C-alpha cells in the first residue's frame, strides 16, 4: 500500500537525554536524506545505524544517530527511520519542522500502529495491546498485554471463527448434497449440538475474562463508613503515605480522595469518602451525596466498622446500603477492642493506625476477584472490554441460531445467525471492522505510537 510519509516524536515532552523522532512512509529515506549530513541514507542498507548531522540548508541543527529500517521489516511494515536527537523540545520541534518542510506530514495519534495494522503486521488485538503495555502499572498487566501482543487473543479468536465456519460448512454441504433424510434431522443431530458446544466454550471464556478484566482495568474500590472509623487511615496505610488528612474530628474528609494502589498485583482504584451521617453542614452533606454515588459506581466496597465500639444504627444503615454490592467488612481499631461480631458475615479485623491485618485484606480482595487457577503463561484471558462485548454478541448470535434450529426455521436462517457470530468475532481481530471503529480505536493512542 502507498501512504504519505508521517513523522512524530515518539518520546515524551520535556527535558531528557535524547528524543526519538520516527518517520514512516514511502519517502522516509529520501526526506531524511535531504536534511542529513554524514552518509547517503538512500544507498544505506536496512537495519543499520548512521552517525551524522541534521542540517537546515547547511546550518547544523543537531548531531544525531539515525536507525534505518526498510519495508517490510519495520514496525509499520513501511520504510522507517528513527532519528535519535539530543533531548529537549526545541531540537525535536526544529527537526520535525524540517522534515515537514521536506515533504513529511505530522502523524495523528496512533497512526504508526494503525499503519502496522493496515499493512497486516499486527491484528487489532495485537495493536491494542501496545497501548496496554504503555499504560501498564503492574507486572501482571504487563504480562497480560505481552501475551496479547504475542498473538494469544488473535489465535483464540481465529480458532473460534474456524469452529463457527465448520458449522456453516456443515450446513452448506448438506444444502448441496443432502445426506440426511430431512433437514430437521440434520439440525437436531449435527448442527444444534455443535452450536451448543460452542456456546459452552464462550461461557467459559467469558467467565475467565472476569479475572482478565480485573488485571487489566483494576478494581474501582470505595472505602465507606460512618465518620471517624478510620477510612482515611486505612487509605493511608495501604498507600504507605499520608495522602488523606486524618484527625480525631468526625467529618474530617469532605470530598472524595482518589488514589491507585498495587495490591498484590491488582490495581485498586481507591476512593476515600466522607463519613456518612446526618449533618446540617452544607459542604459535608454534598460530600456524603458523593459518597453514595461512589458506592453505586464501585465494583468493591470496603465498609469500615469501628471495633472499639458496638454497632450503631448508622453502621446498620450502611450495612443495608451496601448489601447488594461486592463488599468486604473491615473491623478497624482492633487494637482498641473487638466488640463487633456479625452473624453470617466475615469481618476482617485490622488496625489501620498500626498496620495490622492489611495482608489478610489483600488476600481477601484477590480471592474475591481473581481465579488463581487460570493465571499464568498457559492461559489466554480476554481482558479488553471491547473484546468481551464482541464475544457476548457472538454468543447472542449463536443463541439465535440455536433458537432457529429448534423452531424448525429454514436452515438458511440458522446460517444467517452463524454468519453474524463469525462477523462479531472478526471484529475483535479487525478482520471485519468498520473504518469508523478503526479511527476511534487508534485515536486513543498517544502521538508517536
Ligand atoms: N487506635 C486506633 N486509632 C485509629 C485507627 N485507625 C484510625 N484511628 C484514629 O481514628 C481517628 C479517625 O481516623 P480517620 O482516618 O480520620 O477516620 P475517617 O473514617 O477517615 O473519618 P472521617 O473522614 O471524619 O469520616 C484518628 O484519630 C485516627 O488516628 C486504629 O486502627 N487504631
Ligand atoms: Mg476521612
Q: What is the pLDDT of residues 26-52, one digit of tens each?
A: 999 999 999 999 999 999 999 999 999
pLDDT confidence bin for 231, thresholds 50/70/90: very high
* Calpha distance 421→425 (Å, rounded): 6
pLDDT of 175 above 70: no
251 lines ligand 1 (CB under 6 A): yes
Q: What is the mean pLDDT of the chain?
A: 92
Give residue 177's pLDDT: 53
Query: Which of 353, 355, 357, 361 for mutating ligand 1's site (highest number of atoms within 8 Å of CB)?
Result: 353
pLDDT at 186 over 80: no
- Cβ of 349 below 6 Å from ligand 1: no
Q: Is 55 in the pocket of ligand 1 (CB under 6 A)?
A: no
CA of 306 to the centre of ligand 2 (A): 13
* Minimum CA distance residue for ligand 1 atom 21: 228
**Ligand 1 close to Cβ of residue 339 (< 6 A):** no
Topology match between the domains 6-121 and 129-214+384-430: no
Please name which ligand lies nearest the alpha carbon of 252.
1
Stretch 80-91: mean pLDDT, rounded? 96
Average pLDDT over residues 302-308: 97
Mean pLDDT of the 74-97 span: 96
Q: What is the mean pLDDT of residues 101-120?
A: 94
Class of domain 218-373: alpha beta
pTM summary value: 0.84
For residue 448, which phi and psi values (nearest 5 degrees)? 95, -10
Among the listed ranges 119-128, 167-176, 415-424, which one has the minimum average pLDDT value?
167-176
Mutation test of ligand 1: which of 249, 305, 352, 356 has the most ligand atoms closer than 8 Å to its C-beta?
A: 352
**Which atom of ligand 1 is found nearest the CA of 225?**
19
pLDDT of residue 325: 96
Tell me, in angstroms, the distance from the centre of ligand 2 to residue 252's CA: 5
**Residue 180: what pLDDT?**
58
3-class secondary structure per residue, the chain: CCCCCEEEECCCCCCCCEEEEEEECCCHHHHHHHCEECCCHHHCCCCEEEEEEEEECCEEEEEEEEEEECCCCCCCCCCEEEEEEECCHHHHHHHHHHHHHCCCEECCCCHHHHHHHHCCCCCHHHHHHHHHHHHCCCHHHHHHHHHHHCCHHHHHHHHHHHHHHHHHHHHHHHHHCCCCCCHHHHHHHHHHHHHHHHHHHHHHHHHHHHHHHHHHHCEEEEEEECCCCCHHHHHHHHHCCCCCCCCCCCCCCCCCEEEEEEECCEEEEEEECCCCCCCCCHHHHHHHHHHHHHHHHCCEEEEEEECCCCCCHHHHHHHHHCCCCCEEEEEECCCCCCCCCCCCCCEEECECCCCECHHHHHHHHHHHHCCHHHCCCCCCCCCCHHHHHHHHHHHHHHHHHHHHHHCCCCHHHHHHHHHHHHHHHHHHHCCCCCHHHHHHHHHCCCCCC
Is pLDDT above 70 for 115? yes
| % the chain with pLDDT above 70 | 97
Average of per-residue pLDDT across 233-256: 93
Confidence at 273, pLDDT banded by 50, 70, 90: very high
Q: Give the pLDDT score at 190.
A: 83
- Architecture field, domain 6-121: 2-Layer Sandwich (3.30)
User: Which atom from ligand 1 is nearest to the alpha carbon of 350?
Assistant: 31
Nearest to 234 by CA among 284, 268, 277: 268
Q: Where along the chain do its domains lie? A: 6-121, 129-214+384-430, 218-373
Q: Which residue has the higher pLDDT, 372 or 222?
A: 222
Omega prior to 72 cis, within 30 of 0 = yes
Q: Is the CB of 355 under 6 A from ligand 1?
A: no
Residue 280 in this model has a pLDDT that exceeds 90: no
Cα 211 to Cα 141, 215, 221: the distances in Å are 11, 6, 16
Which ligand 1 atom is the nearest neighbour of the CA of 275? 25
184 vs 317: which has the higher pLDDT: 317
What pLDDT, on a 0 to 100 scale, did the predictor assign at position 152? 96
Q: How many Å lie between the centroid of ligand 1 and the Cα of residue 248?
A: 6
Query: What average pLDDT does the segment 117-143 reach?
Result: 93
CA distances from 430 to 118, 395, 436 (A): 9, 18, 12
The domain over range 129-214+384-430 is classified in CATH as 1.20.120.430: yes
Query: Taking the CB of residue 89, how many other CB atoms lie within 10 A of it?
Result: 13
What are the pLDDT digits (tens) for 354-374?
Answer: 999 999 999 999 999 998 888
Residue 97 predicted with pLDDT over 70: yes
Is the pLDDT assigned to residue 178 strictly greater than 60?
no
For residue 155, is pLDDT > 90?
Answer: yes
Q: Is the CB of residue 163 less than 8 Å from the CB of residue 185?
A: no
Compute, in angstroms, the gap from residue 329 CA to the centroid of ligand 1.
16
Does residue 220 have a pLDDT over 90? yes
Amino acid at each position: 500500500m502507498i501512504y504519505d510519509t508521517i513523522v512524530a516524536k515518539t518520546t515524551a515532552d520535556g527535558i531528557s537525554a535524547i528524543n526519538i523522532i520516527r518517520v514512516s512512509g514511502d519517502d522516509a529515506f529520501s526526506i531524511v536524506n535531504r536534511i542529513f549530513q554524514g552518509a547517503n541514507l538512500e544507498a544505506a542498507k536496512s537495519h543499520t545505524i548512521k552517525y551524522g548531522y541534521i542540517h537546515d540548508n547547511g546550518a547544523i541543527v543537531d548531531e544525531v544517530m539515525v536507525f534505518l529500517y526498510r519495508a517490510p521489516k519495520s514496525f509499520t511494515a513501511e520504510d522507517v527511520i528513527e532519528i535519535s536527537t539530543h533531548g529537549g523540545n526545541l531540537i525535536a520541534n526544529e527537526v520535525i519542522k524540517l522534515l515537514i518542510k521536506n515533504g513529511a506530514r505530522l502523524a495523528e495519534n496512533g497512526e504508526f500502529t494503525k499503519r502496522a495494522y493496515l499493512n497486516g503486521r499486527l491484528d487489532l488485538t495485537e495493536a491494542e495491546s501496545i497501548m496496554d503495555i504503555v499504560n501498564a502499572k503492574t507486572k501482571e498487566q504487563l504480562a497480560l498485554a505481552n501475551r496479547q501482543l504475542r498473538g494469544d487473543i488473535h489465535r483464540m479468536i481465529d480458532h473460534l471463527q474456524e469452529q463457527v465456519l465448520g458449522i456453516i460448512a456443515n450446513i452448506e454441504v448438506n444444502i448441496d448434497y443432502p445426506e440426511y433424510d430431512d433437514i430437521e434431522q440434520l439440525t437436531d443431530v449435527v448442527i444444534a449440538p455443535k452450536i451448543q458446544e460452542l456456546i459452552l466454550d464462550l461461557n467459559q471464556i467469558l467467565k475467565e475474562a472476569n479475572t482478565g478484566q480485573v488485571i487489566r482495568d483494576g478494581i474501582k474500590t470505595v472505602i465507606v463508613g460512618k465518620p471517624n472509623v478510620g477510612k482515611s487511615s486505612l487509605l493511608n496505610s495501604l498507600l504507605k503515605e499520608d495522602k488523606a488528612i486524618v484527625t480525631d474530628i468526625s467529618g474530617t474528609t469532605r470530598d472524595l480522595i482518589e488514589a491507585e494502589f498495587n495490591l498484590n498485583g491488582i490495581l485498586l482504584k481507591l476512593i476515600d469518602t466522607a463519613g456518612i451521617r446526618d449533618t446540617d453542614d452544607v459542604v459535608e452533606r454534598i460530600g456524603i451525596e458523593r459518597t453514595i454515588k461512589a458506592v453505586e459506581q464501585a465494583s468493591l466496597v470496603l465498609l469500615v466498622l469501628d471495633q472499639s465500639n458496638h454497632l450503631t444504627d448508622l453502621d446498620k444503615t450502611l450495612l443495608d446500603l451496601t448489601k447488594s454490592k461486592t463488599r468486604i467488612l473491615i473491623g478497624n481499631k482492633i487494637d482498641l477492642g473487638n466488640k463487633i461480631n456479625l452473624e453470617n458475615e466475615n469481618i476482617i479485623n485490622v488496625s489501620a493506625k498500626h498496620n495490622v491485618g492489611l495482608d489478610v485484606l489483600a488476600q481477601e480482595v484477590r480471592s474475591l476477584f481473581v481465579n488463581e487457577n487460570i493465571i499464568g503463561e498457559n492461559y489466554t484471558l480476554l481482558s479488553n472490554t471491547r473484546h468481551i462485548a464482541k464475544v457476548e454478541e457472538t454468543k447472542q448470535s449463536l443463541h439465535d441460531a440455536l433458537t432457529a434450529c429448534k423452531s424448525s426455521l429454514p436452515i438458511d436462517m440458522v446460517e444467517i445467525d452463524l454468519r453474524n457470530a463469525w462477523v462479531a468475532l472478526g471484529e475483535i481481530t479487525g478482520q471485519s471492522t468498520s473504518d469508523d471503529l478503526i479511527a476511534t480505536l487508534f485515536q486513543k493512542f498517544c502521538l508517536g505510537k
